A and B are shown apart, each in its own frame.
Chain A
Amino acid sequence: GNSVTQMEGPVTLSEEAFLTINCTYTATGYPSLFWYVQYPGEGLQLLLKATKADDKGSNKGFEATYRKETTSFHLEKGSVQVSDSAVYFCALINNQGGKLIFGQGTELSVKP
């Protein structure tokens, strides 16, 4: 079946540190991959996406590259800010009528 695995949180960083949140997936075929972000008390927002192998999604300084050979879609940011504190979800859709399969979420806390 389809599944997504993310690194466990919480992740605590100082402002301006480098961020990596690991995400790997299992899927048949060629899924589309997503990162969603959930700020405290809010719903999820799409952060970035990639629809085929070697595509790089980027937004707000975050980026992730669709790696088919390692079935990964790791999220990176060169310099995090306090305002990036949130829960980050890796997800995939695999031609199943819009059914998003989420990872378990990784909480990021950025300290000044």
Chain B
Amino acid sequence: DTAVSQTPKYLVTQMGNDKSIKCEQNLGHDTMYWYKQDSKKFLKIMFSYNNKELIINETVPNRFSPKSPDKAHLNLHINSLELGDSAVYFCASSQDSGGNIQYFGAGTRLSVL
């Protein structure tokens, strides 16, 4: 039973489209995160939610909008996709907002053509 699961695993789309990536964790954790990994494997945090409240919001274009309907889910919606959005997006969760041990999903590889 996967602890942190993301869907879809692969997403290929055209520039200008809107797409969503879903994330669910069954660990009972309070805090969830979205990270972006670029083509050089560099990982950077985008957002963090604690009990459905936004607590970290890095300098991310406002085309990216996270939504947390409950503490087990954190979805990422991206409007007007651009070529530079192509990356692997990882969801993660931790027991609390201290984030000392984070559990990662397998990633969603987004390719914008």
Residues from chain A with a CB closer than 8 A to the CB of B102 are: 44, 46, 98, 100
Residues from chain A with a CB closer than 8 A to the CB of B94 are: 98
Q: How far is the CA of A46 from the CA of B93 in the complex (A)?
A: 12
* Contact A49 B101, CB 8 Å, known A41-B106, A98-B94: yes
Within 8 A of A (CB), among B97-113: 97-107
Q: Name the contact of B40 in the complex, choosing from A46, A97, A100, A104 (C-beta under 8 A).
A: A104
Q: How far is the CA of A97 from the CA of B96 in the complex (A)?
A: 9
Whole-angstrom distance between the Cβ of A28 and the nearest chain B Cβ: 17
Q: Is the interface of B mostly helix, strand, loop or mixed?
A: strand
Q: Name the contact of A104 in the complex, choosing from B41, B50, B96, B104 (C-beta under 8 A).
A: B41
What count of chain B residues pass the 8 Å CB interface test?
A: 29
Q: How far is the CA of A96 from the CA of B99 in the complex (A)?
A: 9
B48 at interface, CB cutoff 8 A:
yes
Q: Are B56 and A97 interface neighbours, CB within 8 A?
A: yes
Interface residues of B (CB under 8 A from A): 4, 31, 33, 35, 40-45, 48, 50, 55-56, 90, 92, 94, 96-107
